[in-house]
Amino acid sequence: MKLEELALIIFKLACPKNISLFWRFGSLLGVCLATQIATGLFLAIYYASDISLAYDSVIYISRDVNNGYLIRNIHANSASLFFVCLYIHIGRGLYYKSYILKYTWLIGVILFLICIITAFLGYVLPWGQMSYWAATVITNLISAVPYIGNVVVSWLWGGFRVRNASLVRFYALHFLLPFVILGLSMLHIFFLHETGSSNPLGLDSSSENIEFHSYFTVKDLAGFLVIWGVLGFLVLFFPRILIDPENFIQANPLVTPTHIQPEWYFLPIYAMLRAIPSKLGGVIALIISVSILLTFPFLKKLEVRSLGFNTSESIIFWILVSIFFVLGWIGSQAVEAPFEVIGQIFTGFYFLLIAYP
């Protein structure tokens, strides 16, 4: 297919004319992904995937490479904006029951899972204290799997602890997975074009659809300017606000941080992991908390498409959002009373409401 034909298909896409601002976040995710890939390629030129050089190579990028600090800060902060857009995009899909577009939804959830893995691998690469211990704790969870867990962990580490072979593998995967995300994103868009976009009313409005260009391209361009403006503000004025201070200390296997935690966008999932006393139970809760989204096209009721017409389901959705924020706060706290009990209570509420038919 020629480039002109592809552009024609995209711009001639029929879209419901009543879609709101929340339908912009899909295109914003594309901008964030492009930003991550572009800045990541520049960082990969100078990064050294060796435990004796990794931390120093990051310092070298920030201090000695021309505009290296700028590229690294864009890459780090754009990851946070990526997950902000991703959570809003998923939330909009849940609120307006977009999972009726089965294949589009399933590929989107798979994309979400791969994005989580990619972001975690990227968090390890600076080889700071929190990077090292987060990698040790999270990858060691696989050992809870009966029979094969310890073997898989040893293979993943390349030995009996997180070491040089582990970093090389994490780096290789972190470099390759964004291109997998890019390919799946194109497939996601392809299925979206096959079925057409959903709309706030949840009705078939194909008779009143309008062309994507120029009505929505202009709105998307305005969204691009806003997201770049927010990113520029973060990078130029508060470049370190979302980075854990422990990660400015070089990794030391002999000194364990008092409180190990992942990046802020993983804190709700991390809180659910910690809420289960059993190690295997925590791993199962961690997996189900995200993978349960795959079941929505098959198990959820679809009599009324939009939650705007169903008060009870709308209330449940906003309670679920509130629970997600509370779990994020709990994930940033130490495992002690009363945070441990609160985490267990809200984890139970999360699974109870997310499984609501």
| Residues carrying an active site annotation | 193, 197, 219-220, 263
Dist CA 62 CA 55 (whole Å):
11
Q: How far is residue 12's CA from residue 212's CA, in Å, rounded to a whole number?
A: 6
* Tokens found for residue 242: 């979302």
70-87: b (≥16 Cβ within 10 Å) or e: ebbbbbbbbbbbbbbbbb
Q: Are 327 and 350 in contact (CB under 8 A)?
A: yes
* All residues at 6 or more sequence positions from 259 whose CB lies less than 8 Å from its CB, including other chains: 334
Report d(CA 172, CA 169) in Å as an integer.
Answer: 5
Question: For residues 242 and 230, is the Cβ–Cβ distance under 8 A?
Answer: no
Is 23:92 a contact under the CB 8 Å cutoff?
A: yes
Report CA-CA distances (Å) from 105 to 22, 28, 35, 73, 187: 16, 18, 24, 32, 11
The structure tokens 């799997």 sit at 145
Does residue 314 have a cis peptide bond before it, meaning omega lies within 30 degrees of 0? no
* Interatomic CA distance for residues 256 and 336, integer angstroms: 17
CA dist., res. 191 & res. 271, Å (int): 34
User: Which residue spans within 36-108 are E strands per DSSP?
Assistant: none
Alpha helices in 196-331 (DSSP H): 212-237, 267-275, 279-291, 296-299, 311-331
Q: At what angle do helices 129-140 and 149-157 cross, to 10 degrees?
A: 150
